Amino acid sequence: MPPQAIIAKLVQRIPLTEDVYELQFRLIKPKKIAFIGGQFVTIKVEDGNPKLFFRSYSIMSPPSQNNIITTCIKLVPTGRATPWLTTVEEGTDMSMMGPLGKFVFHESKEKSSLFVATGTGITPLRCMLEDQLEKGNATNMHLIWGFRFEKDIFYTEELDKLHVKYPNFTYTVTVSRPSEEWKGSHGRVTDWLKENVKTPAQTQVYICGVGDMVTDTATLCEEIGIAREDVHFEKYA
């Protein structure tokens, strides 16, 4: 599907934590789009600054919902796009381009899939996961999702529902700086991978997040025996 110009209305912005928001767009033109789970759109930032400016955002809603686009963004207070996206009025029409990107799921009947995210890196992974599960992919899929603090965690209710509906999907939230009350997994996603990947030759992995976490995780996956061609990633910055 070649990328195309899109006009979409921001219908709802839902705060998920103190600095993470879900944005829901309804497509105006075209009315529907076809895309592959994991792809992204670039949004034109029309914040009054005459300098043309675009930022990329992964699509979180699955391809089956072809008349909407949802994404999940983290406010970077010193940035240009996110201060605008987190305050612009609901009802605003935005210009976008998409779908773009090659970070997509590779179907395999033999291999289980690991999805590794930190923070808003969940966005394309949730789309891939829901797409595969809706299509009846019955292989084991596990999401390992890292946060610094418990206050940063979101979407656990949605993931719990997904697990109940599709038991082959499981997930672990791991917190690198937990409080004493935290009963879940401690440490970084890489710590979890070192301890828990038991069959690397039968595992493919999809990694998304910001900066070094992505490259560090991709390197570790190869070190623990996952084949290079089974390590897929999208780096946000």
Identify the helix (H) or strand (E) that includes residue 163: helix 156-165
Return the number of the residue (26 or 202) whose C-beta is nearest ligand FAD.
Answer: 26
| Residue 173 sits in the site that holds ligand FAD (CB under 6 A) | no
3-state secondary structure 11-78: EEEEECCCCEEEEEEEEEECCCCCCCCCCEEEEECCCCCCCCCEEEEECCCCCCCCCEEEEEEECCCC
- 207 with 192: CB under 8 angstroms? no
| Residue 74 sits in the site that holds ligand FAD (CB under 6 A) | yes
Q: Is the dihedral of CA 116, 122, 124, 127 positive or negative?
A: positive
Return the number of the residue (47 or 222) whose C-beta is nearest ligand FAD.
Answer: 47
| Shortest Cβ 40–ligand FAD spacing (Å) | 4
Strands 141-147 and 169-175 come out as parallel
Q: Which listed residue (11, 27, 76, 88) binds ligand FAD by CB under 6 A?
A: 76
Q: Count CB-CB contacts under 10 A for residue 177.
A: 12
Of the CA atoms within 13 Å of residue 26, those in its CB half-sphere come to 6
| Shortest Cβ 164–ligand FAD spacing (Å) | 26
| Residue 81 sits in the site that holds ligand FAD (CB under 6 A) | yes
| Residue 39 sits in the site that holds ligand FAD (CB under 6 A) | no
Return the number of the residue (130 or 234) whose C-beta is nearest ligand FAD.
Answer: 234
Region from 77-85, 131-139, 143-151, 168-176 binding ligand FAD, contact rule CB under 6 A:
77-85
Q: Could you say which residues in the range 106-135 bind ligand FAD, by CB under 6 A? A: 119-120, 123
Residues at the interface with ligand FAD (CB under 6 A): 40, 55-58, 71-74, 76, 79-82, 101, 119-120, 123, 210-211, 234, 236-237
